[in-house]
Chain A
Amino acid sequence: MTNKVTIYIDDLPYQVPDDINLLQACLSLNIDVPYFCWHPAMGSVGACRQCAVMQFQNEEDIRGRLVMSCMTPVTEGMRISFKNEKAHTFRQTNIEAIMTNHPHDCPVCEEGGDCHLQDMTLLSGHIKRRYPGTKRTHNNQYLGPFLNHEMNRCIGCYRCIRFYRDYCGGKDLNVFSSKNNIYFGRAESGNLENEFSGNLAEVCPTGVFTDKPFSKHYIRKWDLQSSPSICTHCSVGCNIYTTERGGIIRKINNRFNDDINGHFLCDRGRFGYQHINHENKLTQVWSRDHQSQKTHILDDNQAHIQLTQWLHEPDAKIFGIGSSRSSIENNAALHKLVGKNNFYAGMPANEINQLTLLINTYESNQINLLSLKDIEQADTVLLVGEDITQTAPRVALSIRQMTKNAGINKAAKFGIKPWQDEALRNITQDTKSPLIIINTHDTQLADVAKQNLNLTPNKQLELLLEIETYLSDDTSHCSELAVAIASDLLNANSPAVITGTHSFDIALLSACLRISAILKILKPNSGFYCASSAVNTLGLSLLCEPEQDLNHLIQNISSNPPSLLIIMETDLYRYFSDKKISNYLDKIKHIVVIEQIITDTVTMADLVLPATSFSEQNSTWINNEGTAQHAYGVMPPNDMRQTPYKWLAQHNSLSDDHKLYLYVQSLDSLLQPLSQFESINKSDFPIARQSLRSSARTAFFANIDVKEYAPKCDEETNLTYSMEGVSAFRQKTLDDSHHKITTPVTGVWSPKWNSNQAINKTPLEDNNNSNLALKIFNTSSTMPFEIPSAGIEKRSLSTITVCPQHHIYINDELASYSSGIQELAPKPLIYINKKQAENLSILPSENLTVISDDYQFTLPCKINNTIADNVVLVPFKEFIRLGKNVQVSSSNKVGEYNE
């Protein structure tokens, strides 16, 4: 809780927190001070000069002094004026100067209508252009599939490189030349390398960097229909706004969530939505007639009749496969239909085991679960066995911010506040909070890590066990390295252990959990975070019994095949080799697949029920730290699509939402609070998904019919598919009125602020009063649980270990349908270091073959000398299909090892 000070703005007193800058204070008080270079996440540098206000020494001082509000800390009793004429004239001239080189592109510029420059120009009062000269122009660059580049529009606020380089650690974007010829781009055209480049479209206050996939189906902001949702392309659960028009999803925008994603999304989340518009999406019910080898399209009735028939066959044995990329509601519906003994998670055994371990530990309250905000505020991080920069990139961005904390503390001694961005960097120089990474190879966080320890999984485990030993006060048998790491953790105030399930090594996970448990006793502020594989992995795991995983499913199918297998949003061919799966599936009489898009599993179905994408359904997802978040669809389901739980509603007697949520609650005590999401759907008044200026209502179907069609009705929620209802901006008033209303906000807007910067016009205490999220693990209840210790003796010694390599543009199934993501996805290769290559007698780009009991593949290899000795990195998609007894061989030599 920070202290407050009283400041006087145009002779009126206001109370504001004492640790913010004057600009932030004014904005939070609804005073429209214009600005460009300040950003709430990046602090102040004082470059653009737009935020000038007049400061007075005391009441007698009538002359005053112009100050930049973003660079000025608030102090008790300070007197400033926003309305002062000199200050107003200055701001007006300042933006006039900025606009001297700005092209009159608004009508053809993507940013128009969503443009911070437009808003600030109007707010500053500049309407008449006096500059008689010509405008400087630039050539543009090709920057990859995600961003357009139009440098003529640049106003020189420097935000792009401050974000890209200082915030995200990117190296290839920079500023070139000088004076009024400055140029922001790469040394040469080419793909932007950093995984957060897409945020440039939102960070740039004008149209220099704009969303390129959006340009291909562009619609003005005021014509977009928008809904608050959750990104479904990894397990972090970043908050987004999905926008739509004409049945096509147009763009994903960031939705501010202080605890999770803050102001930024990764590129996978931002651009991975194209599967919704994909030509292969399923919109019809298909029925396969094996005799005639034909596919028929069924209508709704026929589909249900078929399903009923198979469900109620004599001796029917029904299995269901739930999905980690489908909502809690969908999984619960399937669970009810098939019963808990027949419900399988669409995850391999290894993963379910890891998740079970995690959930048991979380419930036992032995560790603190961290949010991403908590991670940013930690002061030491141990990152183990997970290339989180690729599996859950937004977490990596938070870890990167964490490393700046030691510098922030150092600067505080000089009286420099955390938001004084440039001063901070000049004082901080190399000072960093420790980040220790234990992995198989260097990650994208290597540049800010105190140590990058690249080891085989066995050695990683050895090291972790030593650290655990040291922390338990037993200093025997500890290597210097372990002691050093443990000391870093002990010296910290809030150390964090971060890992993930993507190494598929439960022993490593155990070790991490045990270390975290010990740390919690020693350091109450310590914490833990584990990244899992998909948006609802944790949620799905809560519904599963032990041994209800895909590996056991395959065994059970083999010994005692079911008559009906209902596969929901899972592609079995991702987990097993083609041959293996096809053999098993052939044993089953009826296969029903509920899916969004054509996958290999869909081609094996007898009946295909088209499922809605996340944009067409209301859904609840549980992320890595156990926050259940509710998402709203933005458009009615396309064509014949239905939300999976609706497909099943007729058959599992959960005929309405109320029954559905009752059932969800019954599945696990942790899910009790989820009933809250049922009630928020029915609220006092409608909320509009469209802005008041949304146009072309009457013209939309003009080619079909003269009359304007009634907007579709949203049966389940109080959000409307029209502009009728409460508009998208904060309802809270300044003076704590009794009628405090918190609504799901469907977009970012504030009077006179049409761009996403309107997010800064909210009172500071408002924070994140969203009732769309709740934590399911609470500290009040504790279920005792002993975290198993991972004995290293159980692991066999080997010469080579095959490990999975992850990539942001490969890992997620649905995101991979986006064209930009496909373009950037690397070719599948096997990576080894030089020594390993020599051991295998192989040259770079020659082939390596990896063989296991169930599966084998051959790929060319490439050298990466940061990889630990005796580690062979293979693409994750291949790795996951490998069974036991893995061997690596080149055409020249057979190396051996095992899983």
Chain B
Amino acid sequence: MNREENNFPTHPLTRFITDNENCWQLNQYQSLGGYDGLKQALTVSGPAVLDEIKESNLRGRGGAGFPTGLKWSFVPQGDDAPHPKYMIVNADEMEPGAFKDRMLLEKTPHQIIEGLIIGGYTLDADIGYIFIRGDYYTAIKHIEIALKECYDNNLLGKNILGSGFNFEIHIHTSAGRYICGEETALINSLEGKRANPRAKPPFPQVAGLWGKPTIVNNVETYCNLPHIINFGSAWFKSLGRFKDSGTKIFGVSGKVKMPGLWELPMGTPIGEIIQNYAGGMCDGYKLKGYLPGGGSTDFLLEKHFDTPMDYDEIGKQRSRMGTGTIIILDDKYCPVAMVLNLVKFFAQESCGWCTPCRDGLPWAAVLLEKIEQGKGELADIQQLEDLCKFAAPGNTFCALAPGAVEPLQSALNFFREDFEQHIEQQSCPYCDIKHAEDKYDK
């Protein structure tokens, strides 16, 4: 497949990231083709843009992989639709191991803004929000400046580029808490409330922020929109190496030679990312396992290296693509400690609304701590397995707890000997110096 036809880019998302330290500013962005997508979109109707997005098979890049076009089609359109309608960028990246959105936010704020404006135009929305975590200071600064540049250049505000379309964007910084990344919890946070998730129905597309139609999508999802409109859904589909369309920012962290981020086609095999792009394991370390999509996905092993980074394919291997940022577990790091770190994280980030998450995750953390400290019993493993079933998808109010037990359940499956060894030895075979600084029982 000749992807170079018509000078269409192969790496649409990262082509704006150059060595120029001002690459994130408007003039740089526009010189490389920025806002061409928006201009193109404004020449056709909103529904036409929506059709193109549907056609492109773009799936949400925040972790769930829900088809974006389908999600947007539930927003009421037409003259009777309630207003104002809201488009929200979920830039509250806080998943352990996820760091892809930071790059896009710091280095390509205009790409996100362009995507957001296109989204607003498509659905006849009025107000956009960029919900960004408060710790991304550089990104916030860049976005604030970028927004001003847009307003100054008729890319935002009234009658954008003479199209008659009005749109405004506000930036909102979070005050912490991972749960704000859940779309309905994010909406509650924007309303100035505690970030508990909401029950669905009603879906946010129908009644979200302040009871009005609202779309919440991940940073990376919005970034794809200008290019889909600019170069077409056929091109977008052609980029993928397997079934899913487009490219994705993949990342690797852990004891690999070159941890980092790369824009690669969807469907790139996992092994290729780890070995070719991340350079494989550091000297002296072997791969034990990895979480393919960040801290809330199930472990996979070397034998799964051929699995393409495709939402459904990874699902078949009983894991998830998630954020696409891979966390490597090396052979010198204790799997029990790793899972303990993750479960403690999720227990601490629980909003406190529903029982399995609020009370079940700390329970799992206590058991894991017990095992790690060399005080475990075999019955503890059974309890942990019960707790994994207890927090399964559908049992809880939102997806935090099911995500929390994914590393745990797969670790119990693949690394059971490690757990048993902890219990038989009554100590951690991996530990010598390191011990958890934050004890669970504060």
> What residues of chain A have their CB less than 8 Å away from a CB belonging to chain B?
45-50, 52, 65-67, 71, 89-90, 93-94, 97-98, 100-101, 130-134, 156, 158, 175, 177-182, 414-416, 420, 422-423, 426-429
Contacts and interface: CB of A to CB of B under 8 A. Distances in A.
Interface stretch (B9-17, B205-213, B257-265): B205-213
Given A93-B390, A181-B352, A414 B202 contact: yes
B404 interface: no
Contacts of A66: 394-395
B353 A429 contact: no
Interface in B393-442: 394-397, 440-441
A182 B353 CA distance: 9
A97 B363 contact: yes
Nearest to B198: A426
B249 interface: no
22 contacts: A49-B354, A49-B356, A49-B397, A71-B199, A89-B386, A90-B390, A93-B390, A94-B390, A97-B363, A97-B390, A130-B379, A132-B380, A177-B352, A178-B194, A178-B350, A179-B348, A182-B352, A182-B358, A420-B199, A423-B199, A423-B201, A427-B202
B269 interface: no
Contacts of B348: 179
Contacts of A90: 390, 395
A420 B394 CA distance: 18
B355 A156 contact: yes
Contacts of B389: 89
A97 B354 CA distance: 11
A49 B355 contact: yes
A794 B355 CA distance: 66
B349 A427 contact: no
The 8 closest A-B pairs by CB, nearest first: A133-B366, A97-B359, A429-B211, A179-B350, A182-B352, A178-B352, A93-B390, A427-B207
A527 B101 CA distance: 60
B360 A97 contact: yes
B390 A416 contact: no
A422 B207 CA distance: 12
B112 to A, nearest CB: 27
Contacts of B358: 156, 179-180, 182
Interface string B336-374: 000000000001111111111011101100110010000
A67 B351 CA distance: 21
Contacts of B370: 132
Given A101-B359, A132-B370, A46 B397 contact: yes
B177 interface: yes
Nearest to A95: B355
A156 B348 CA distance: 16
Contact of A65 (B210, B380, B394): B394
Nearest to B387: A93
B356 A426 contact: no
A360 to B, nearest CB: 47
Contact of A426 (B211, B354, B362): B211
Given A48-B355, A94-B390, A178-B351, 12 more contacts: A47-B355, A52-B395, A93-B360, A97-B363, A132-B370, A133-B362, A156-B358, A178-B350, A180-B358, A180-B359, A181-B352, A423-B199
A886 to B, nearest CB: 48
Contacts of B394: 65-67
A428 B349 CA distance: 29
A645 B161 CA distance: 89
Given A49-B396, A131-B363, A180-B347, A94 B356 contact: yes
B206 A414 contact: yes
A639 B354 CA distance: 54
Given A97-B360, A130-B383, A178-B351, A414 B201 contact: yes
Contacts of B354: 46-49
A100 B201 CA distance: 31
A65 B353 CA distance: 22
Contact of B207 (A89, A94, A182, A414): A414
Residue among B363, B370, B380 with most chain A CB within 10 A: B363
A305 B383 CA distance: 80
A119 B397 CA distance: 24
A175 B199 CA distance: 19
A426 B211 CA distance: 6
A301 B391 CA distance: 75
Contact of A131 (B210, B366, B396): B366
Given A94-B355, A100-B359, A180-B347, A45 B390 contact: no
Contacts of B347: 179-180
A179 B352 contact: yes
Contacts of B353: 47, 158
Contacts of A98: 355, 359
A179 B349 contact: yes
Given A94-B390, A414-B207, A422 B199 contact: yes
Contacts of A422: 198-199
A101 B395 CA distance: 21
Residue among A47, A50, A420 with most chain B CB within 10 A: A47
Given A94-B356, A132-B366, A179 B386 contact: no
B98 to A, nearest CB: 21
A97 B356 contact: yes
Contacts of A156: 352, 355, 358-359
Nearest to A49: B355
Contacts of B194: 175, 178
Interface string B272-292: 000000000000000000000
A531 to B, nearest CB: 35
B199 A429 contact: no
B300 to A, nearest CB: 25
A46 B199 contact: yes
A100 B363 contact: yes
Residue among A67, A71, A130, A426 with most chain B CB within 10 A: A426
A98 B366 CA distance: 15
Contact of B362 (A47, A180, A428): A180
B436 to A, nearest CB: 15
A45 B196 CA distance: 12
B317 to A, nearest CB: 21
Contacts of A158: 353
A546 B347 CA distance: 72
B127 to A, nearest CB: 16
A416 B395 CA distance: 21
Contacts of B396: 49
A33 to B, nearest CB: 16
Given A50-B355, A179-B347, A180-B350, A133 B201 contact: no
A66 B392 CA distance: 10
Nearest to A97: B359
